[in-house]
Amino acid sequence: MNSKTFDIIVAGGGIAGSMAAISAARNGTSVLLIEEEGYLGGSLTASGTGPMMTFHAGEKQVIRGLTDELVQRLVAKGLSVGHIPDSTGYTYTVTPFDSEGMKRELDLMTQEAGVTVLFHTSIASVTVENGLLVSLTCLSCGTLFPVSAKYFIDATGDADLIAMAKVPFEQGRTTDGRDQPMTANFKLVDVDLAVIRDLMDSKVELFPLLSKKPGLQKQASRLSFSGFEEIMKEGCKTGEISFDRDIVLCFETNASNEVIVNMTRINGKNPVDPFSLSEAEVEGRRQVWELYAFMKKHLPGFSQARMISTGPRIGIRSSRRLKGMYQITVEDMFLQRRFEDAISANGYPLDIHSPDGAATDSRFFPNGAYYTIPLRCLLNDTIPNLLAAGRNISSEFEAHSSLRLSPSCGAIGHAAGTAVALALQNGVDVRYLPSAVLHKRLLEEGAFLG
Ligand SMILES: Cc1cc2nc3c(=O)[nH]c(=O)nc-3n(C[C@H](O)[C@H](O)[C@H](O)COP(=O)(O)OP(=O)(O)OC[C@H]3O[C@@H](n4cnc5c(N)ncnc54)[C@H](O)[C@@H]3O)c2cc1C
């Protein structure tokens, strides 16, 4: 088969890859978006994760542009209630959405922009010539076929393309290379959330973070809650819960009384080892069924709950990360660095689910504080026409735990697509694209840069 040629190929159609493809195409380039599943959205639609959190730092909305446009389009169709207070008390706002609606909206947005989307396609090999990535061999429907481009954006979450092209990367924490746990999220319907709301009023001490901001739940049209430590402790003691988890964590979706349960913990598996990943899927489902039974039996408001789905794929929080021209650090985040080549901002805290225990290491920024992410975290000198976008950009393990959230990944993807399109239009290597040129365009596109 002859190689089809594009200006830009984006690998991975999660929130980062979708935003990258749409922004690049809106900027006049021809774009191919390659996705292993049969729909876009990545973790948000394939792993049952949500709500999106958070677009805010205090009162200020620090994630805007294309990612917010997606939300506003969903809001206009009744498929999201938009940005509402986070009634767990963990962060500022959450953005519940209808995951089927998101799949459809991303189809519409990619179609309107003129992106060519290849579903059910994986990448079998890459061809590098003279220090540049020139083509990919794809695999779909039992057929191997080549596609080529001038620029490639790796938005696979796991930096698959980066690894295949032998660009340096890191994985896991520095002490032992272990990643945050994977989690199999699941959705329940027919939960009686009025019961939980009553408890939030009458026994707020059951919800440790909310107890510092009592009454927050009254402003939230959809409920998020984190608590019931004693019930979980008892479950672990009796053996009804056989894995490490210290707290109940649930998020109501766009549909009333439908909740996402974000609680299972699959530790000690490697998300980029095919055999280990498969073991994690089985263990994830085992934990889901154990937890489902436990919640129905012991959690107030859950006795009639019914499971409607597990994510088609297990949720991967962290895996490979590009070793790029710059690695964003925890210090950068706490110093609220404003980089000269900033492409996005973020106010979500460090949120490290323990790679070997029940706890979550959360490190909060002062109220309203946010940091920026520099373009150099997406770039590398080994293969300069290959960028990272989304949760696989260049960062310290701990710093990654903040920028990995979906609004942030969307903003990074948006910037990646625009940067590459501008580099092509201006005939410059993206590493030397003047920040002023990129900033002007991103601001015109509604982005917030700090
Ligand atoms: C359990 C869990 C709960 C979370 N909860 C929240 C939450 O409540 N709120 C929030 O905002 N964020 C949450 N996150 C984080 C967030 O969902 C993700 O980090 C973020 O969406 C990542 O976006 P991405 O586009 O970088 O990657 P992904 O969403 O991982 O998308 C990558 C895409 O690339 C595709 N792909 C992978 N490899 C290939 C390949 N070789 N070829 C072609 N396609 C490929 C995948 O199918 C996928 O569609 C959670 C994550 C997990 C794991």
pLDDT tens-place string over residues 412-423: 999 999 999 999
Q: Which of 310, 343, 368 is the last residue of a domain?
A: 310
C-alpha–C-alpha distance, residues 383 and 291, integer Å: 45
Residue 93 lies in a domain: no
14, 409 Cβ separation under 8 angstroms? yes
C-alpha–C-alpha distance, residues 17 and 40, integer Å: 9
Residue pointed to by tokens 């292993």: 36
| Cβ 160 under 6 angstroms from ligand 1 | yes
Query: Residues 242, 281: one domain?
Result: yes
Residue pointed to by tokens 């110093």: 335
pLDDT, one tens digit per residue, over 164-195 is 999 999 999 998 999 999 999 999 999 999 99
205 three-class SS: helix
Residue 388 lies in a domain: yes
Give the total number of structural domains in the chain.
2
pLDDT, one tens digit per residue, over 80-109 is 999 999 999 999 999 999 999 999 999 999
Query: Residues 333, 400: one domain?
Result: yes
C-alpha angle with apex 33: 32 to 38, nearest 5 degrees? 135
C-alpha–C-alpha distance, residues 271 and 158, integer Å: 8
CA dihedral 400, 403, 409, 415 (to 10 degrees): -100
Query: Residues 416, 305: one domain?
Result: no
Whole-model pTM: value is: 0.97
CATH of the domain at 421: 3.50.50.60
Query: Residues 204, 272: one domain?
Result: yes
387 CA distance to ligand 1 centroid (A)? 17
340 CA distance to ligand 1 centroid (A)? 28
Write down the mean pLDDT value for the chain: 96
pLDDT, one tens digit per residue, over 271-309 is 999 999 999 999 999 999 999 999 999 999 999 999 999
Tell me which residue of 128, 125, 56 sits closest to 93, measured CA to CA: 56
Q: Which domain holds residue 294?
A: 186-310
Query: Residues 287, 224: one domain?
Result: yes
The two structure tokens encoding residue 272:
């980029």
Residue 90 lies in a domain: no
Residue pointed to by tokens 């599943």: 37
Q: Which of 263, 289, 310 is the last residue of a domain?
A: 310
Residue 363 lies in a domain: yes
CA 6 vs. chain centroid, Å, equals 26
pLDDT, one tens digit per residue, over 353-382 is 888 876 789 999 999 999 999 999 999 999
Query: Residues 165, 222: one domain?
Result: no
Query: Residues 405, 432: one domain?
Result: yes
| Residue environment code for 112-123, b if the CB has 16+ CB neighbours within 10 A, otherwise e | ebebbbbeebeb
pLDDT, one tens digit per residue, over 56-89 is 999 999 999 999 999 999 999 999 999 999 999 9
Q: Using 50, 70 and 90 to split pLDDT, how confident is the model at 402?
A: very high
| Cβ 48 under 6 angstroms from ligand 1 | no
| Cβ 391 under 6 angstroms from ligand 1 | yes
